[in-house]
Chains A and B, each alone.
Chain A
């Protein structure tokens, strides 16, 4: 079992910094997800942890031991690649047992360990096949099996589900979460899919342009985004943003002008004064259709998903996305009125930083263990 510390690590590729000083503490048995748009450096960061990329400056420590100079073979990690990277000339059994063969583990013991991992992943009937005779989902399982057999201190997953079709991805996501329960190991997972991040992580690390934007539990990121980027990145559909003018502000809240009248958002208003321009953020699922609501919009597009309906609204030059229940009877071009609970709204400064909410969301600090306890 293992912990990982990143201390101000930097990666410089011939003059361009792709990782610009990342600090991170991964606790034992934690499931940490790196998430961010393409090119944000999340895969590079993982490859640095694995030892596949050198670290320009800063320190990487596993279990408190500096490993910067330790090669990938000796860091005791296992990695599942986006491409699976199965050895095409070896059978599934040989693929899974390769690390043991390198470690000169006797054949019988090797077989036993491979079988144990194959049992967890239901791979037993496939052990004699070559990778090319497997489906995408099966290859994925073999890649995970190979990692399990290695019995690593930390599991690394580099976008492991991105080559699977949607249905399989959901299935594998659940399987991975279950695997984490079963193996109870430290896992680091890279993805650009925020649903994967939200559903599996104990802790999400949001990256953009080689910088950590925020680290926190999924619910913390959802309810208390530190800045506009995180607010827009986490949550689907995306959060609505609207430029608003401040009417007045104090430590107890900020009054802002909305098209249908003023509204008091309960965030710390220190340093904000009347006349300032802020950005109001409100999630589509927090907008509520209301005949008497202060806001109006004309429906541009309706997406009916059955359980929920997404309405794409236009008002003047502002656009809103509103998620309503599945039984909304409105049609395209209807004019609707809507409102929201100011406690759910966020305010961002011109620099994109969020003003702190006065009360913390009750679920913001829940961790996986508590999640699990609620099922018991």
Chain B
């Protein structure tokens, strides 16, 4: 009796999750699969699941005249630097915001996250004008600043939430043990913040890595990122589907793996055992 009661909703849950997974995964799986297909099969009228895989699209991406390497390096450098800055500043600001007792703290915190609420489209033109005056167009620094403007408030907000979860007893215990505020932060707080730092870093990196609008507007020939390279394959003379799918795979796969890592960290309760 009880078994069938549990069994029914369970099958329902599984069915729902399967549907959701198919909905999410089929386009990605199809993209990854197709990136290994020869061009003739990609554009065939009937979809083909079985084929002899080829690396030709990947090889031509990195060997042809317009190699993907500079784009990849730009993406890694810009996303990496903006993430690093966002995490370092976000960590310190978040700690302050979580611990300091000041009036109207919630308002301050809300104001910081509210700057992230504006849609990219609303800030892109003003930023373009600003960047032109500051000679930041077609520079790595320009894109790093643009991504920071969105990632920093987000990082501060996220890190504040992580610090709020960490009982202040631990830092206080460290200070009574003879630590300065900074030593308490360095030896006790920071090691316990790894899940928070990794989560924040990956989410910030994904934002910068996936961005197309900022990169399209602010970058020039020497600073273009991977999404721009992908867009360049959509030309008036035709679309190079094979290369496009290969780029898509290169963009998506590292982030998908990173996303799974975030999940692991998010769930982990590292503070278990610190406080009853």
Contacts and interface: CB of A to CB of B under 8 A. Distances in A.
A72 B276 contact: no
Contacts of B187: 98, 102
Given A78-B177, A81-B172, 16 more contacts: A14-B103, A50-B176, A51-B175, A72-B172, A73-B176, A74-B178, A78-B176, A85-B275, A89-B191, A89-B192, A99-B177, A99-B178, A103-B178, A131-B274, A132-B272, A133-B273
B139 to A, nearest CB: 40
B236 to A, nearest CB: 58
Contacts of B188: 87
Given A89-B192, A102-B179, A102-B183, A163 B276 contact: yes
Contacts of B177: 73, 78, 98-99, 102, 146, 150
B178 A85 contact: no
B270 A72 contact: no
B178 A102 contact: yes
Given A14-B103, A72-B172, A88-B270, A83 B178 contact: no
Nearest to B274: A88
Given A88-B272, A89-B191, A136-B276, A81 B173 contact: yes
Interface string A69-88: 00111100111010111111
Given A81-B172, A83-B169, A89-B270, A73 B178 contact: yes
B276 A85 contact: no
Interface residues of B, number: 25
A85 B175 contact: no
A178 to B, nearest CB: 24
Nearest to A98: B177
Interface centre among B169, B177, B191 (most CB of A within 10 A): B177
Contact of A132 (B103, B169, B179, B273): B273
B175 A88 contact: no
The 7 A-B residue pairs with the shortest CB-CB distance in the complex, in nearest-first order: A132-B273, A85-B169, A99-B177, A85-B173, A88-B274, A83-B275, A131-B273
Nearest to A83: B275
B100 to A, nearest CB: 13
Most chain B CB within a 10 A radius of its CB, from A50, A83, A87: A87
A88 B273 CA distance: 6
Interface string B65-109: 000000000000000000000000000000000000001000000
A99 B187 CA distance: 11
B276 to A, nearest CB: 5
Contacts of A242: none
B174 interface: yes
A133 B272 CA distance: 10
Nearest to B171: A85
B167 interface: yes
Interface string B256-276: 000000000000001111111
A89 to B, nearest CB: 5
Contact of B174 (A50, A98, A130): A98
A50 B176 CA distance: 7
B142 to A, nearest CB: 39
A135 to B, nearest CB: 11
A78 B170 CA distance: 13
Nearest to A156: B176
B43 interface: no
A358 interface: no
A74 B230 CA distance: 60
Contacts of A52: 172, 175-176
B75 to A, nearest CB: 34
Nearest to B167: A83
Contacts of A86: 173, 273-274
Given A52-B175, A72-B175, A102-B178, A83 B273 contact: no
A132 B273 CA distance: 4
A168 interface: no
B18 interface: no
B179 A85 contact: no
B232 interface: no
Interface in B175-221: 175-180, 183, 187-188, 191-192
A134 interface: yes
Nearest to B166: A88
Nearest to A47: B172
A88 B176 contact: no
A84 B274 CA distance: 7
Nearest to B170: A85
B18 to A, nearest CB: 36
A89 B169 CA distance: 15
B102 to A, nearest CB: 10
A84 B174 CA distance: 12
